[in-house]
Amino acid sequence: MVALQLEETTDIAAVDEELFTVALDKPMSFVASTGYKAERDSVRINQGFLLVIATLIIGAFFSIWTIQRTQEIGLIKALGASTGYLVRDALGQVFLLLAVAVTCGVGIGYGLGDLIVERTDIPYVIDIRAMLISGALVIGGGLVGAVLAVRRIARIDPIIALGQLR
């Protein structure tokens, strides 16, 4: 592969014919590059694994959170709160926590990326759209993990939970 910077008036077809080459624009040259697709695929697979791992970690965190709150949840149920109310309340808290954490993470990531671009010669592209999509996926995955964790709320028996206070 040879990279050329030609003047706009250059007849690209004539250059191709003379040099026995096929001219490609910059995006197509990446696609034609050996190993480019494999590298992109491996990065996407790693991103997928990270999303699954984040979902599992968030689910585990909220499982522990729910277990630690069993007595309080039992008390609130004994006072007449419905399971649906408790689940909505827990998921609302989870969403709020995830939204704040993702907002902080995207902000820090964007700020550090901007700092890298300003202060170094490292080729780094800040794609805010990709950051926002990743953040939304983390929130969605976190909510899925939390839903699995807060299912336990439905099974809490107030009498048993209150009996644990003794």
157 located within any domain? yes
19 located within any domain? no
C-alpha–C-alpha distance, residues 33 and 21, integer Å: 15
55 located within any domain? yes
37-60 pLDDT, tens per residue?
A: 888 889 999 999 998 998 889 889
36 located within any domain? no
3 located within any domain? no
Domain count across the chain:
1
151 located within any domain? yes
% residues pLDDT > 70 (the chain): 96
57 located within any domain? yes
Structural domain boundaries, residue 78: 49-163
Mean pLDDT score across all residues of the chain: 85
84-142 pLDDT, tens per residue?
A: 999 999 999 999 999 999 999 999 999 998 898 889 888 888 888 999 999 999 999 99
Residue 98 corresponds to which tokens in the numbers above?
A: 């995830």
Look at residue 112 in the predicted model and tell me its pLDDT.
92
CA atoms within 13 A on the CB side of 55: 17
C-alpha–C-alpha distance, residues 98 and 25, integer Å: 41
123 located within any domain? yes
C-alpha–C-alpha distance, residues 32 and 156, integer Å: 58
